[in-house]
Structure 1
Amino acid sequence: MKRVIIGIFFIIPFVAQCQNGVNNPPEWVKNPPTSKENIYGVGFGTSTNRDIAERKAIMDANVNLAEKVQPAVITITSLIDSVVKNNVVLIEKVRIVRKKVQATLENTNIKERAVFEDNGRISVYVLIEMPIKEINRSVVNQITDDKDLYNAIAKTKAYKQLARKAK
């Protein structure tokens, strides 16, 4: 009987901490970091299976990151807009480049992870980061892959500046 009471005494704080985790997410969930070098995305997932909860959290974080990448891609490609402004086909190709870069987030990294369990449900928070340099590199790669667009802007100051930032 004494062992049961001692066991319960040690388990109660652990269970309370697990339950508080979902209601009290880590500080980086409420206030993601900011940086000149990286863009961050936060995600949350829950399931009875840890792997599924983590995959949901990563997917949610990628969606959050994509929303933040979009303005960066628009800013990066805005210099190119002025070069192709009179060519409807090239304008559309720049739009496609923007969407591809946003849809294919490359070289993301899980910076932080927090896992909580409550009555068999596992909740996972993740913080992912993507170097801004990767966004530049991805834009340059997409432009290089499109020969018409590349030939139209390769010798411009705007493209050369973008290519330098991608290195």
Structure 2
Amino acid sequence: MLTKNVLALLVCAPLVSSPDLFAQAPGGDAILASVSYFLTDEEVVEKTKEAMDGSKEAALSLTNFYWMRGQPDKANTLRWALIGSENGSAEAQFRAYQRLRSTSNPLDHRRSIFWLRKSASQGFLDAVRALERCGHLVKNDPNSRLACFGPEADQ
């Protein structure tokens, strides 16, 4: 059950544009209250420049913008996830893992493990959990491959 303060925050959150707005759930877990991934055309141009100059935050913002649209733009999502990964973003590295793992190409799967390890080494929680679940694949255990790679991985 959420507290009155958390509920108020959740109700009012759409009025606030900060992507870093979190609430504290009753057990201590942080929950995301509101995030807007929408970017104006001008913001896309500006963030593109920033990301190409090395900003991991700008690249991640573009990654999320292209993925969270009504119909995800998979090519641009992967492009910006890879740029964000190169720029050092643990979350972008995890997004690169997610996009590469869902292809049918075994070389993409191999590279996805590279990005998963990079993200997990920075302590990104989703990557740490995924590595616990799928990390044995680097040892070529074919019996568990379907759960971690290919289109089934996104389910």
Q: TM-score range by the shorter chain?
A: under 0.3
Query: How does the TM-score come out when normalised to structure 2?
Result: 0.27
* Bigger Rg, structure 1 or 2: 1
Query: How does the TM-score come out when normalised to structure 1?
Result: 0.26
Larger relative contact order (CA 8 Å, sep ≥ 6): 1
The structure that is strand-richer by fraction is: 1
